[in-house]
Amino acid sequence: MEKTDYRNEPDNTAVFGSEEMLQPAPTDTIPQYGTRPEIAYQMVKDETFAQTQPRLNLATFVTTYMDPFTTRLMNEAISVNYIDETEYPRVAVMNAKCINIMANLWNTPEQAKWKTGALAIGSSEACMLGGVAAWLRWKERREAQGKPTDKPNFIISTGYQVVWEKFADLWQIEMRTVPLTLEKTTLDPQAVIDMCDENTICVVPIQGVTWTGLNDDVEAIDAALDEYNSRTGYDIPIHVDAASGGFILPFLEPERRWDFRLKWVLSISTSGHKYGLVYPGLGWVVWKDKKYLPGKMSFSVNYLGADITQVGLNFSRPAAQILGQYYQFIRLGFEGYKQVQHNSMEIARYLHDEIGKMPQFVNYCEDVVNPLFIWYMCADYARSAEWTLYDLQDKLKQSGWMVPAYTMPKNIEDRVVMRIVVRQGFSRDMADMLLDDMRAAIAELEKLEYPTPSRLAQERREEVQGSVFTHTGCCHKKK
Ligand SMILES: Cc1ncc(COP(=O)(O)O)c(C=O)c1O
């Protein structure tokens, strides 16, 4: 049947009786004619039909559950563009209120009514803005001293998230990495100091390291930098990448000093869409004071009906997430956030304990400091197992769970680990279901008489690299 303009077609054909359901979906070119909305809806919906349930995805840090009121609120604002401040001035004010709340949660000393910060599409943009500000401050200072500015560097652990590699490559700033090892599981302050020089724009400790869930010791790094800066006359600052920890520490460990209470912490970034409990598309960066945000980073335009000044890499961006964040602040309050984060932490600790008791596994660390953790196979067990954690990942996928297996960063890349991120929307009951599915999957894998392809691949890698099983980590199996 020749397809014609759908407006001339009878509209009583059932969706699955339509011609479109016999045709492949467009891949390369836009279709000549449109189709009925219910058919278009069905086709798009069906493309993602087979995907895992988002709440069973324990790989992502990003929010997969919000209550129906926020969902309504955000859906109602789906057409609002944040940049149109003249049309939606209250959204800009709401954004500024969120920045104030974040800044105060992180103990800003800034006294101004409106604290200095910026909205971002996620932590990646927020990290970039923090990094660019540090680079421009360093550059301005060097230029004023008549010194060269062609070799900037920053210091971070090998546990960095990929955004920092992008920052280094896109802005041509050398990334100096302190190796994480099985013994040194977080950024070592002395190693940081050993890498600092006059071209260091900032040091970047992480709160909630993506690979491990651990926190770098910002207080110790601040103290080491304080001594180094006073000895050398440099003023190397800290940008804290608190993508996850920025919304955990203020509620669960308010006495821990990692934020603006520390002298050299000049900027902090976080993801509103992780433990900020908002659906994807939201990050925040806050500076300790307006003077640390270089003027060059504010761009003004006059064609939206007023002079609009904006800090950010994107121009247009959805405003719905700001409404979602502000709703969560009002809905939950400090105590509500504390309860939600506490539950995530307790469930993570429960899973950590139960997985630690399994004879096949060892937890990477004894502590769970954010609601996520990693584990690996016991050396003794791994020697004779016919399967790897990649096989377990595949088996769990059959029950809908996404629990990722991956190799650790440089220097310990021969170590394969598995990670669970617990977020709002994951209950103790679901944790028990996951544990049951894990035990059943392991029982199946243990029946194998021949090695799996991933086990064979691992053996081939070991032959090339030397055995991984000779490692003893910092965290041994408890007897
Ligand atoms: C430590 C850290 N920094 C930055 C990011 C990037 O965050 P986003 O996905 O919000 O851009 C992540 C994401 O997992 C992260 O864990």
- Tens of pLDDT along 392-407? 999 999 999 999 999 9
Residue 303: its pLDDT value, please? 64
* C-alpha to C-alpha distance for 76 and 67, rounded to whole angstroms: 14
For residue 105, the CA-to-ligand 1 centroid distance in Å is 20
Which of 186, 212, 213 has its CA nearest to residue 275? 213
* C-alpha to C-alpha distance for 334 and 339, rounded to whole angstroms: 9
At 479, the pLDDT band (50, 70, 90 cuts) reads very low
Residue that is last in its domain, among 295, 329, 363: 329
Contacts of 126 (CB under 8 A, 6+ apart): 118, 120, 269, 270, 271, 283, 284, 285
Residue from 271, 274, 285 whose mutation best tests the ligand 1 pocket (most atoms within 8 A of CB): 271
User: Same domain, yes or no, for 266 and 368?
Assistant: no
User: Same domain, yes or no, for 360 and 305?
Assistant: no
Residue 3: its pLDDT value, please? 58
Residue 130 domain flag: yes
Please state, in angstroms and as integers, the Cα–Cα distance from residue 212 to each residue in 154, 170, 186, 351, following that order: 21, 26, 9, 15
Which of 118, 198, 132, 196 has its CA nearest to residue 164? 132
- Mean pLDDT, the chain, rounded, equals 92
Residue 110 domain flag: yes
Residue 474 has pLDDT above 80, yes or no: no
Residue 422: its pLDDT value, please? 97
Residue that is last in its domain, among 329, 363, 382: 329
At 7, the pLDDT band (50, 70, 90 cuts) reads low
Residue 459: its pLDDT value, please? 86
Which pair of tokens denotes residue 222? 């601040």
User: Same domain, yes or no, for 296 and 352?
Assistant: no
Residue type, 372: L
Residue 37 domain flag: no
Residue that is last in its domain, among 329, 354, 381: 329
pLDDT tens column, 199-258: 999 999 999 999 999 999 999 999 999 999 999 999 999 999 999 999 999 999 999 999
For residue 161, the CA-to-ligand 1 centroid distance in Å is 6
For residue 441, the CA-to-ligand 1 centroid distance in Å is 30
Domain that holds residue 412: 341-463
Residue 15 domain flag: no
Residue type, 370: N
Residue 58 domain flag: no
Query: Averaged over 368-381, what is the pLDDT?
Result: 95
At 144, the pLDDT band (50, 70, 90 cuts) reads very high
Query: Averaged over 417-440, what is the pLDDT?
Result: 96
Q: Can you tell me whether residue 92 is helix, strand or coil?
A: helix
Which of 379, 401, 403, 399 has its CA nearest to residue 389? 403
Using the atom order of ligand 1, give the atom closest to the CA of residue 208. Answer: 1
At 364, the pLDDT band (50, 70, 90 cuts) reads very high
User: Same domain, yes or no, for 281 and 138?
Assistant: yes
User: Same domain, yes or no, for 298 and 366?
Assistant: no
At 6, the pLDDT band (50, 70, 90 cuts) reads low
User: Same domain, yes or no, for 238 and 129?
Assistant: yes
* C-alpha to C-alpha distance for 214 and 208, rounded to whole angstroms: 5
Residue 460: its pLDDT value, please? 87
Residue 154: its pLDDT value, please? 98
For residue 215, the CA-to-ligand 1 centroid distance in Å is 14
User: Same domain, yes or no, for 426 and 282?
Assistant: no
User: Same domain, yes or no, for 107 and 251?
Assistant: yes
Query: Averaged over 18-32, what is the pLDDT?
Result: 91
At 27, the pLDDT band (50, 70, 90 cuts) reads very high
CATH at residue 384: 3.90.1150.160
Residue 52 domain flag: no
User: What is the CB < 6 Å shell around ligand 1?
Assistant: 61, 122-124, 127, 161, 163, 206, 208, 210, 241, 243-244, 271, 283
Contacts of 383 (CB under 8 A, 6+ apart): 469
Contacts of 279 (CB under 8 A, 6+ apart): 63, 66, 74, 273, 321, 324
Contacts of 403 (CB under 8 A, 6+ apart): 58, 59, 392, 393, 396, 418, 419, 420, 434
Query: Averaged over 262-281, what is the pLDDT?
Result: 98
Residue 337 has pLDDT above 90, yes or no: yes
CATH at residue 94: 3.40.640.10
Please state, in angstroms and as integers, the Cα–Cα distance from residue 93 to each residue in 78, 239, 293, 331, following that order: 18, 26, 19, 18
pTM value surpassing 0.75: yes
Residue 471 has pLDDT above 50, yes or no: no
Residue from 58, 163, 239 whose mutation best tests the ligand 1 pocket (most atoms within 8 A of CB): 163
User: Same domain, yes or no, for 153 and 90?
Assistant: yes
Q: What's the number of domains the chain is made of? A: 2
CA 143 to chain centre: 35
> Is 435 buried (19+), middle (13-18) or exposed (0-12) by CB count in 10 A?
middle
Query: Averaged over 55-80, what is the pLDDT?
Result: 94
User: Same domain, yes or no, for 186 and 100?
Assistant: yes
DSSP 318: B
Residue 62 has pLDDT above 60, yes or no: yes
For residue 376, the CA-to-ligand 1 centroid distance in Å is 23
Residue 174 has pLDDT above 90, yes or no: yes
pLDDT tens column, 86-107: 878 889 889 999 999 999 999 9
Query: Averaged over 312-321, what is the pLDDT?
Result: 93
Residue 26 domain flag: no
Residue 4 has pLDDT above 70, yes or no: no
Residue 469: its pLDDT value, please? 44
For residue 210, the CA-to-ligand 1 centroid distance in Å is 7
Which residue minimizes the CA distance to atom 14 of ligand 1?
Answer: 210
Residue 478 has pLDDT above 50, yes or no: no
- The H or E element that residue 203 is part of is strand 200-203
DSSP for 244-284 reads: TGGGTHHHH-TT---STTSTTEEEEEEETTTTT---SS-EE
Residue 193 domain flag: yes
User: Same domain, yes or no, for 314 and 359?
Assistant: no
Residue 175: its pLDDT value, please? 98
Q: What are phi and psi of 41, to 5 degrees?
A: -60, -50
User: Same domain, yes or no, for 228 and 100?
Assistant: yes
Helix pair angle (320-357, 68-76), 10° resolution? 140
Residue 172: its pLDDT value, please? 97
